Structures are given as C-alpha cells and as structure tokens.
Amino acid sequence: MLNNLASGRRIALRIVLLQFAVALLVGGTFLVLGRREAASAAAGAVVVALGTAVMSARMFSGIGGAGLALGRLLAGMLLKWVVIVGGLVVILFQFKLPPLAAITGLVAAYAVYLLAFRFKG
C-alpha cells in the first residue's frame, strides 16, 4: 500500500510540473499576440496546475481504508473544480483578460492531465 501511495505522489508531482511547463509554453506562444493574451493563456494553465496540486494534496494526505480514499478523491475533485472555476472567474471578470487565450491555456494544461496516464515511463 505504501508503495502505491508513493507512486501516486510521484505521478501527481510529475503532472503538476508538466502543467506548469505547459503554462510557460502556452504563455510564450501567445506572447506573439501580446502581453495580455500571453498572461491570460499562462494564467489559464496555471489555474489547472493549481487545481491538480490541491486535488493531489487532498488525495494523498494519509493512509486509510477504501471508504476514506474514495472520500478524499471526491473531496479533491470538488476542490479542484472550485479552484479552476474560481480561477477562471478571476481571470475573466476580475482582470478582464482575453477569454480565448485563457480557455486555450486551460485546455492545454488539462490535456497534460488526461494524457499523463497514457504514456508511462
């Protein structure tokens, strides 16, 4: 059980770091269109990385039975979506950054999350 927990923590850390790397990549790509677009794209990806980090911290917070693990998973997913939706609200309505760039950054970072388990190694 401890080995699986440690493995899960390593995978979660790798995903979060890859999502931050995608944030830099998307932000740099959108820099061609302007600073506001670059900031918006990078912020969209960072919001997803932060959501994944919060979910991972909640999921891997300790050892317990299956019921406790399921509860942590559900609580982590809920927290992740609160962070993502809240971050998008801040990006789009508080800072009034371009929405297409923010959504593009969000999708790019979330693609890392979805593809992470497809390529093991």
Domain extent for 99: 2-115
Residue 66: pLDDT band with limits 50, 70, 90: confident
Is position 121 within any domain?
A: no
Is position 25 within any domain?
A: yes
Is position 98 within any domain?
A: yes
Q: Give dist(CA 71, CA 61) in Å, integer.
A: 12
Q: What is the pTM of this model?
A: 0.91
Cα–Cα distance list, 6 to 44, 49, 121 (Å): 29, 20, 15
Is position 28 within any domain?
A: yes
pLDDT in tens, 75-102: 999 999 999 999 999 999 999 999 999 9
* H or E, element range at 14: helix 2-30
Total domains present in the chain: 1
